[in-house]
A and B are shown apart, each in its own frame.
Chain A
Amino acid sequence: MKTNLKHFINGFVKENPVFVLLLGTCPTLATTTSVISALAMGLAAAAVLICSNAVISLLRKVIPDKVRIPAYIVIIAGFVTLVQMLMEAYLPSLYDMLGVYLALIVVNCIVLGRAEMFASKHGVGASILDGAGMGLGFTFSLLLMATVREVFGAGSFAGVEIPLLSDYAIPILVSPPGGFFVFGMLIAIVGKLSKKPVKAEFGCEGCPNAAVCKQSTEVAE
């Protein structure tokens, strides 16, 4: 049980997918313009992550090694479609808000990365906890970044106006350049606080393409 709990906490702090592992940058930048959309994106990704981790862990002895990546993609895409359909039916306004980024959970490095790195090697219980930890760590990071962007960029929190700040909002923080800027600042702050040197390179560890990627950049150089 203790090790299981460790898997869960790991995703939150030590291996935080967004600020430490630097995975899933696309949704991090795109959906953090408001707190509500960040929360919805985070929870949707977490749901997919938990379900796909569980199923992949159950099937890990059945799936042949050679076709594992396509098999994982099919499983993940299935759950993404499920989440899409449920959201369209019950939360249509959020569905419209997230738009194409909801479908793009399929190619999110965090989901595929955890399938390849964790679920394919561990039991069901541990995989579910790992998925939950990573998913909630992702949600938490998105919320943190969205809070900074919405409070200072739009002068509101989850759509509720903050009296004094709304007069001095900095609209550029909610726009695309502000996304890159706030993300860079937050990584620098997290690196400074954790006293660990910030990674010099973009995170590839969790990405199933890492081996090919490394090889290709070496060849190109």
Chain B
Amino acid sequence: MIKNLIVILMASVLVNNYVLSKFLGVCPFLGVSKKVGQATGMGIAVIFVMLVATAATWPIYTYLLSPKYEYMQTIVFILVIAALVQFVEIVLKKYIPSLHKSLGIYLPLITTNCAVLGVTLNNITDGYGFIEAMVSSLGAGLGFLLAMVLFAGVRGKMEAADIPKAFKGIPITLIAASIVSMSFYGFAGVIENMFA
């Protein structure tokens, strides 16, 4: 059981990294990764929302939608996530203002982040149980954080580099992302042999 959970966690952090191999959440990955501090804040907020979203959508799907109303999945999930993010923001603002100050600004951005909707949908498609789904969401969030922080470091170095004119800005950022993604490619095959 625990072995299985570790495999799910490591697989979603390293091998099936949401940003670098599934391309979910690319917009914030490229947009908010200019500084390491900012990237960390966004990453932590994403982990938090992913966990809350999974904790809400998994029971809704399993006990309310399945097996009769499965086709409502997309509509229900996006609405639940949007409402939940608003709710969390209001609660944080009222009771934990210090946390709201550091994470709150990222919360509205996350509502329409495809990684959050993606992880909740994938948990259903993969047929995970509740605990497995939570672990896989945690892994997805950690993977997002890891990719963001690593990439923020790379971008910091790039600012000093002399880049050809046509590649300035977005193109070079994407090519740097390609190289970071390639380094994650090296993890493929690690998981299968982890307990062998």
Most buried by A among B23, B117, B175: B23
Query: Lowest 9 A-B CB distances belong to which pairs?
Result: A184-B174, A180-B178, A188-B171, A216-B105, A181-B178, A177-B182, A200-B169, A29-B23, A77-B75
Within residues 42 to 62 of chain A, which ones have a CB less than 8 A from any CB in chain B? none
Tell me if B's interface is mostly helix, strand, loop or mixed: helix
Cα of A103 to Cα of B148 in the assembled complex, Å:
25
Q: Which residues of B contact A26 (CB under 8 A)?
A: 23-27, 114
Q: Which of A4-12, A121-129, A147-155, A206-214 contacts B (4 or more CB under 8 A)?
A: A206-214
Q: Is the CB of B166 within 8 A of A103?
A: no
Q: What is the interface size of chain A, counting residues whose CB is below 8 A from a CB of the partner?
A: 57
Tell me if A's interface is mostly helix, strand, loop or mixed: helix
A1 interfacial by beta-carbon distance below 8 Å: no
Q: Is the CB of B82 within 8 A of A70?
A: yes
Chain A positions within 8 Å of B, measured between CB atoms, are 22, 25-26, 29-30, 70, 73-74, 77-78, 80-81, 84-85, 99-100, 103-104, 106-109, 112, 172, 175-181, 183-185, 187-189, 191-192, 197-202, 204, 207-209, 212-213, 215-217, 219-221
Select one of A74, A81, A184, A220 contacting B173, CB under 8 A. A184
Within residues 14 to 62 of chain B, which ones have a CB less than 8 A from any CB in chain A? 20-27, 30-32, 34-35, 37-38, 41
Closest to A211 in B: B108
Cα of A73 to Cα of B20 in the assembled complex, Å:
27
Q: Which residues of A contact B113 (CB under 8 A)?
A: 107
Assuming the contacts A85-B71, A180-B177, A198-B171, asked whether A188 and B166 have C-beta atoms less than 8 A apart, the reply is: yes
Assuming the contacts A177-B181, A178-B178, A209-B112, asked whether A103 and B74 have C-beta atoms less than 8 A apart, the reply is: yes
Select one of A78, A85, A108, A112 contacting B75, CB under 8 A. A78
B87 interfacial by beta-carbon distance below 8 Å: no
Q: Is the CB of B38 within 8 A of A187?
A: no
- How many Å from the CB of A162 to the closest CB on chain B? 24
Q: Which residues of B contact A112 (CB under 8 A)?
A: 112
Q: Is the CB of B175 within 8 A of A100?
A: no
Assuming the contacts A209-B108, A216-B105, asked whether A81 and B75 have C-beta atoms less than 8 A apart, the reply is: yes
